[in-house]
Structure 1
Amino acid sequence: MEKPYNEYSREGIEIHTDSFRDDTLLRTGLKLNHLRMIVAIEDHGQISAAAEAMAISQPAASRMLSEMEAIVKVPLYERIARGVVLTSFGSALAKRARKILLELREASREIGELRTGKGGSVYIGAVTAPAISLVVPAIRRVTRNYPGIAINIQVETSNVLARELLAAHHDFIISRIPDELNPRLFAAHELGVEKACLIVRNGHPLLEKGVVSLKDLPGHDWVFQPPGTLLRRRVEDVFLAAGVPLPENIVNTSSLLLTLAVVCKTDAIAPIAVDMAEFICGQTSRAGEACILPIDFDIDVKPYSLITARERAMPPSARLLYDLILEEGRRGT
């Protein structure tokens, strides 16, 4: 159990509570690289991984941590079986460090935009369905009216996107808040429910049945997102609720391109978002060799939301795209 801070000492660290002033950390030499290191330790949970993220050696990272503890005069981390974990002092410092680094990133971004005369840049993440149904129409509107804005998009699972948002890699995301993360860290506006379907290649034997039932599916090969992802869990829940055996022959991949390649070249079945399926199956490329499999059951996934990190301000360019996506979402409900 962690001791009160005025009684805690480790490796020669002595704490004198009456010696702290508002500018103590600045006067005693805390640097930006120290802030980057404490954030990297929180993100990776290992000194070696934090060192790699900062492109320095592990001994250099260890020295940097020792410097930080000497400056703040409290223990910032503890060693555990699989790496390190921040103490309450380290967590408090990491929280503030993350905000400071974000503000510096935004300052650099704003100065760069002013210097080049561009209209700004936006960093967003989205799960597949709203990336097509909401982000693309909003991008069309914003680039038509504000052609100088640079838009950067990552399409990934909710688990990845939420952590990227907390790490300040995105201005906002369109996804779900993972169960394992504290919802108090986010602000969210629900936009809609993602509907999924099953795709197969043209000429697949199941297409001869007309409308397919769950009991027709277990014996076939499948392409799924990795275990634990939301769409996969939802499809598995549909099977379990109906008392139908789960598929056994499975290829696991988070790559949509690889999913399509496997589906088009084999008799495998894959669940994907309806918006994505309708887009893909309407193309004249090889991707268009896939088609939607008619089924007599629904695959409704957990609602997705427009999510920001709580207490973090967005730059004007990001706010503009955020508002347009929110408008698109409300129009579709």
Structure 2
Amino acid sequence: MDRVSVVVPVYNAARTLEKCIRSILKQSFRGLELILVDDGSTDKSLAICKKYRARDERIVVISQPNAGSIASRRRGVEAARSDYVVFVDADDWIDRDMIRILYEEAVKNDLDLVVCNTYKVLGWARERNNSWYFNEDKLYYKEEIRKKLAAAYLWGHPFPATLHGKIYRKRIVVENGSFLSKIKFFGDDLYYNLEILLHAERLKVIHTPLYYYRVGGLTCRYMPHFFEDMITGYEIQKTVVERYYPDTKEKEYDGICIMLLNLLRSSLYNLFVGRLDKVQIKQLIFRYLTHENVRECLYNKGCLKYFPRDYLEAIYKQDTEYMYRLGKRLYLRRLPHKLMIELCSFL
């Protein structure tokens, strides 16, 4: 029986997919299956998947109509025959020893998940995650996980929120997902991991970077459900605070309110990434500013200390012109970076 199932959701990834697949098939670990879930690709991705399946019996190819990354991962997990699951994005690749190292740690210490460090890759440049979480290898137990790791997701997730760069006990992945079912696209990794961490008994962080994450994606394309997912995420966080953090409720509420109003700025930027005219943008901004959850956060003590007064006043007064100008400034400021990412993605 295979000991680890590697799930790769695939959508129009023909340019990067082969490097991803090769990095998995060349693992020093023996006893893996590779599940490639093509999500209705319109390029040559499915043909590439089938080509490698014909060469290697460890590969399973699933083809489905376009349903998004959440559904693709779920389909892959349903097909997995192993006790442990690893997620890899089709744009990325992994170190030759990643699966062996993570699996051995998981089995030796009876862990629900193991988290390794990652490299961010932009063109030829690589940058490791220098967060304090990766200063050393460290074991965490249930209460520590709740207080130090899961709680970080209530403050903008400084602890890695991605599904990649981790190995999961399959059972904990299958038994959780109620938060994820409410999200359309933005924040899917974060809220899946939040629920998993709240139920994890044992976890280990490894300081060594073993996963290569290609920078790009979310900041480069318009997300029509961004604001809706942002609000849904806030509602999930409120539920989590009430249920799991009664002892630090006020502090955690500060965190989720600050996170929401920070994401409000990101939602303004997102509008300019889409092909919307000024009238459409201002109509959406008005809807954002009048939403009950945004109004609720406006009066949070943490937000009153954290944000500039003019930003809070613009929300209070529902000043769509101020917010339109802010969104445009954010877009123009990030445009050179966006163009650089798009250019480097061809290297």
Compute the TM-score of the two structures, normalised by the length of structure 2: 0.29
TM-score by length of 1: 0.30
Rg larger in structure = 1
